[in-house]
Amino acid sequence: MFNFRHAIFPVIISLLAGCHNNNTRPAVTAGDSLSSAPAAAAAKSIDSTHTVPAAEKTKTILFYGNSLTAGYGLSPDQSFPALIGHRLDSLRLPYKSINAGLSGETSAGGLTRIGWVLRQPVNIFVLELGGNDGLRGIPLNSTRDNLQAIIDTVRKKYPSAKIVLAGMQIPPNMGEVYSKQFHDLFPALAKKNNLTLIPFLLRDVGGIPALNQGDGIHPNVAGEKIVTETVWKYLRPLL
């Protein structure tokens, strides 16, 4: 498991000091540990990153997550969903990449908006949520139930859709037991639901200053390219 303790633990503590909850969706404020993007980011949270030849029937890959998916601090075409879209184009694969990331999103917030997002057909659904839950110390049962409900909703709406779950890790500020159980939550959900699991979205990026922005949490341009390769490794076999 990646050791966050020395890399971003002080940053997490200072960010968590201002966190607060919202009954329906987390507010996008400087206190959100995986957020802080302006509310205007929500307006572009669903954005097709590329097109494919009209002669081919285009399938949809929907990336659903928080600021890590939204590409906080980067231009829209530098987020990993956009970079995946460019790769699909270069390989002339009949898929489009849609970025439905929203900075500040928790699993509860994701559950409230999933019905709206699924109004469009989805062939591959990449679920990246839970990081903000862990950094706020939200009970694990709540996070697990919310993620399961999102998975169930996708399966009910689009039974043939393939689902990819992005795993996350958190620093031990909530206690070693909580951190370990949080880490284990993702592989357990993937096994239960027969999902494709990305063990750790920020592999080879998390906690490395040269690959992250000044907050020590969100990947910079170089880091985002590594995240793209991590996601592509698990996404490519599904295409």
Q: What backbone phi and psi angles, to 5 degrees, belong to 95?
A: -130, 150
Whether 159 is in a domain gets the answer yes
User: Is residue 205 in some structural domain?
Assistant: yes
| Token pair recorded at residue 212 | 């992250």
Q: Find the catalytic residue in 89, 145, 204, 215.
A: 215
For residue 206, being part of any structural domain is answered with yes
- What per-residue confidence (pLDDT) applies to 171? 87
> Global pTM?
0.81
Tell me, yes or no, whether 14 lies in a domain. yes
Least confident of 3-12, 176-185, 204-213, 225-234: 3-12
Beta strands in the chain (DSSP E): 47-48, 59-65, 95-99, 124-128, 162-166, 196-198
The predicted-structure confidence for 146-195, as pLDDT tens digits, reads as follows 999 999 999 999 999 999 999 999 988 889 999 999 999 999 999 999 99
Does 67 participate in catalysis according to the annotation? yes
Q: Specify if 24 maps to a domain.
A: no
Left (φ > 0), alpha (ψ -120 to 50) or beta: where does 56 sit?
Answer: beta
Rounded-to-integer distance, Cα 201 and Cα 229, Å: 10
Cα of 38 vs its chain's centroid, Å: 18
- For range 200-217, the mean pLDDT: 97
Residue 103 in any domain: the answer is yes
Residue 221: which CATH number? 3.40.50.1110
> For residue 82, what are the CA distances in angstroms to 69, 85, 87, 100, 228?
10, 5, 9, 11, 9
Q: Is 218 labeled as catalytic in the residue annotation? A: yes
Query: Which pLDDT tens digit goes with each residue over 104-147?
Result: 999 999 999 999 999 999 999 999 999 999 999 999 999 999 99
Q: How many independent structural domains does the chain possess?
A: 1
Q: What is the pLDDT of residue 193?
A: 98
**In a domain? residue 25:** no
Find the range with the poorest average confidence among 7-21, 58-72, 98-112, 188-202.
Answer: 7-21
Which is catalytic among the residues 33, 67, 103, 179? Answer: 67
Residue ranges making up the domain that contains 202: 9-18+50-238
Q: What residue spans of 71-170 are helical by DSSP H? A: 80-90, 107-117, 131-136, 140-157
Residue 54 is assigned to a structural domain of this protein: yes
Task: Using the predicted structure, report yes or no on whether residue 96 has a pLDDT greater than 80.
Answer: yes
